[in-house]
Structure 1
Amino acid sequence: MISRIWSGESPLWLLLLPLSWLYGLVSGIIRLSWRLGLRKSWRAPVPVVVVGNLTAGGNGKTPVVVWLVEQLQQRGVRVGVVSRGYGGKAAQYPLLLTPESTPAEAGDEPVLIYQRTGAPVAVSPARVDAVKALLAHEPVDLVVTDDGLQHYHLFRDKEIVVIDGVRRFGNGWWLPAGPMRERASRLKTVDAAITNGGVAFPNEIAMQLQPGKAVNLRTGERCDVRELRHPVAMAGIGHPPRFFATLAQCGVVAENTFALADHQALTHADVGRLVKAGQTLIMTEKDAVKCRGFAEENWWYLPVEAHLSEIQAEKLLQELLILVR
């Protein structure tokens, strides 16, 4: 229902407009207070790059963070990552991730980033505290923040926005009548816009999510996802239909699909009841980090990697490298 409201297909968005106006007014006042210097941003001693969204969830932001960290690491930059840690509840903040950190503590996305990149990761609702903790424990040259475009307390040297190239900005209204955290005009002030799928507009960097081989949660075995017998699919991400569409593009005909809530906590019982005898479960990597501790032998995940337009991506990376030289 919410997707129909935000796309404008359902007229119910009109009933929510007063709340959207209020949201826009409050968020506008908050942003203006930072711009006028009425509230002071904290500037880290190293460059900070924000990777964020203008809309609520499911745009492909985390794969962009992973891509960015890996690309900078390959160029000799020591990168740290900070995140809000949505879906996690640590005993205390800030929390520095270790190999023993769980999604229940740190959130699923920070754990995924930590496992994929090996970069130091810190989480805290107050991102400034996360950056300070990171710098106190790790020698990093640059910090990437996973989300936080609207978290103005932390000064940023570069802003990167990720756009869903298919859904774009829906009906264009602020939450809750539409998907917008900020209006599309905010794009004029960011340093780069990366468009995931669909068609990239002028001055946007085109990106596609390319799936790899399916990975078994228990054994680490890899195989072509089309080889999985009697597959059923689940996705607990911001926009589950994207994952199901990816599977279809890979030639997978799922016998059933299950869309779960983003950042939803999972148990063996929650996941096990989705699969019948003889079926194979395929999930996202983000779901997999929450399921590894109780996975069955027939549970697999499909990792994806961000592939960006080569010339534009290199230009963006060179701009970031200038910050650390």
Structure 2
Amino acid sequence: MTGWIDRLWYSNSRPLWPLYPLAWLYRFIAEKRRREAWQAKDSPITVPVVVVGNITAGGTGKSPLTAMLAKLLVEQGWKPVILTRGYGGKSEHYPMQVTEDTPPDEAGDEPVMLAELTNCPVVVDPDRRRGALWSLETELGNIFLCDDGLQHYRLPRDLEIAVFDGQRGIGNGALIPVGPLRELPDRLASVDFVVTNGGWLDDIEHDHQYSMTLAPTSLRNLTTGQRLPVDELKGKSVTAVAGIGNPGRFFDTLRALGAEVTERALPDHHQFRPQDLKCGQHQWLLMTAKDAVKCRGQSLQNAWVLEVEAQLPEAFSKAFISALGR
């Protein structure tokens, strides 16, 4: 998201109200596709499917939550497979199994990051149902985690988790392009859990709403792999680059850790160029794990990755495992 979109969508006003006919058209098309997908469903997937997504455009913390759920499922004896569209990647064939060494320009940045974080099979396919069936044929696992698939209705699902940015919420409450909503808030009545990244949304009523934090865990040198505690950022002058959905959250986190931050916000899924990665002679270059997979091989000795981990209350973990029926 760019700053001007944030100002237009995530405020109490609706300056784009003349575009309401397009918002109504967007709603009509979205609801039509949803009905057609449900009506055309083939045989169900034979293993549980958990969908993590959102009803707003932009970053909310879905991928860190997906990584946390994968870890939780492994601890419970499951063999999770992560399904994802692979936004920003372009492969000659699908389905495509991703590893941490897969080029991000083929798979997309988030799938490579998830493969790196989880060590679980990650399968990219714009048709996530096809990816799921292929994963079953190749016996990759026994449960699916679909990252960003709430509106991909061709994929049957057993559990749905809607994720929100706690600072932004539903913005001005309007559908794209007037506001940030992909679907209206009444869609939440059919999801199993609502997870709010960094806060609590009082204007959303749901019996199973939980607050999530993205806790910084360490600093990793992009080139050498050396790790340092996040305390090393206290008093440190850094240039922070972020090609993510909400770069402001990343910059705020660095400042909360004591860093003196020069911001460089870039579009989500940005393809980095050498000039994007320049910083002062005595500065560190800081980036997210999502951006780091696209900057490998740049030989940047002063580039560090802030690694974070999604943390939720134990009550959520218990409710989630219980909902799976195991």
Shared fold per TM-score greater than 0.5: yes
The within-5 A match list for 1:2-151 is 2-8=5-11, 11-35=14-38, 37=39, 39-151=40-152
Query: In structure 2, what is the equivalent of residue 290 of structure 1?
Result: 294
Deviates more, 1:104-113 or 1:127-136: 127-136
Query: In structure 2, what is the equivalent of residue 260 of structure 1?
Result: 266
Deviation at 1:310, TM superposition (A): 1.5
Is 1:304 the counterpart of 2:312 in the alignment? no
Relative to the length of structure 2, the TM-score reads 0.92
Deviation at 1:42, TM superposition (A): 5.0
Deviates more, 1:16-25 or 1:133-142: 133-142
Show CA shifts across 1:5-33 (max 9, x none).
Answer: 11245653212222111101111222233
Conserved in 1, the CA contact under 8 Å of 2:159 and 2:191? yes
Deviation at 1:278, TM superposition (A): 1.9
- The one-letter code of the counterpart of 1:246 is T
Relative to the length of structure 1, the TM-score reads 0.93
Query: In structure 1, what is the equivalent of residue 321 of structure 2?
Result: 317
Structure number with higher helix proportion: 1
Is 1:271 the counterpart of 2:271 in the alignment? no
Conserved in 1, the CA contact under 8 Å of 2:164 and 2:195? yes
Query: In structure 1, what is the equivalent of residue 229 of structure 2?
Result: 224
- The one-letter code of the counterpart of 1:84 is R
How has the CA–CA distance of structure 1 residues 318 and 9 changed in structure 2, closer, same or farther, with 3 Å as cutoff?
A: closer
Distance in 1 separating the partners of 2:168 and 2:178: 15
Residue of 204, 207, 210 corresponding to 2:212: 207
Distance in 2 separating the partners of 1:303 and 1:99: 16
Distance in 1 separating the partners of 2:14 and 2:174: 13
Distance in 2 separating the partners of 1:245 and 1:23: 33
Show CA shifts across 1:266-286 (max 9, x none).
Answer: 23x14333x122221011110
Deviation at 1:205, TM superposition (A): 1.0
Show CA shifts across 1:227-263 (max 9, x none).
Answer: 2542111111111101011111112121x11111111
Secondary structure at the residue paired with 2:293?
helix
- The one-letter code of the counterpart of 2:242 is A
Conserved in 2, the CA contact under 8 Å of 1:42 and 1:155? no
Conserved in 1, the CA contact under 8 Å of 2:12 and 2:171? no
Deviation at 1:188, TM superposition (A): 0.5
Secondary structure at the residue paired with 1:206?
strand
Instruction: Give % identity.
Output: 43
Query: In structure 2, what is the equivalent of residue 250 of structure 1?
Result: 257
Distance in 1 separating the partners of 2:241 and 2:94: 31
Gaps of 5+ in 1: none
Distance in 1 separating the partners of 2:127 and 2:133: 10
- The one-letter code of the counterpart of 1:266 is F
Aligned residues: 317
Secondary structure at the residue paired with 2:311?
strand
Distance in 2 separating the partners of 1:11 and 1:188: 25
Distance in 2 separating the partners of 1:42 and 1:270: 50
- The one-letter code of the counterpart of 1:223 is L
Instruction: Please give the root-mean-square deviation of Cα atoms over the aligned residues, in Å.
Output: 1.6
Gaps of 5+ in 2: none
Conserved in 1, the CA contact under 8 Å of 2:197 and 2:211? yes
Deviation at 1:66, TM superposition (A): 0.3
- The one-letter code of the counterpart of 1:293 is G
Distance in 2 separating the partners of 1:48 and 1:318: 14
Distance in 1 separating the partners of 2:41 and 2:86: 24
How has the CA–CA distance of structure 1 residues 99 and 212 changed in structure 2, closer, same or farther, with 3 Å as cutoff?
A: closer
Conserved in 2, the CA contact under 8 Å of 1:215 and 1:301? yes
How has the CA–CA distance of structure 1 residues 218 and 319 changed in structure 2, closer, same or farther, with 3 Å as cutoff?
A: same
Distance in 2 separating the partners of 1:145 and 1:174: 23
Show CA shifts across 1:67-103 (max 9, x none).
Answer: 0000000111100011000011112111111343111
Conserved in 1, the CA contact under 8 Å of 2:14 and 2:178? no
Conserved in 1, the CA contact under 8 Å of 2:241 and 2:277? no
Secondary structure at the residue paired with 2:150?
coil
Deviation at 1:313, TM superposition (A): 2.6
Deviation at 1:110, TM superposition (A): 0.6
Distance in 2 separating the partners of 1:29 and 1:77: 35
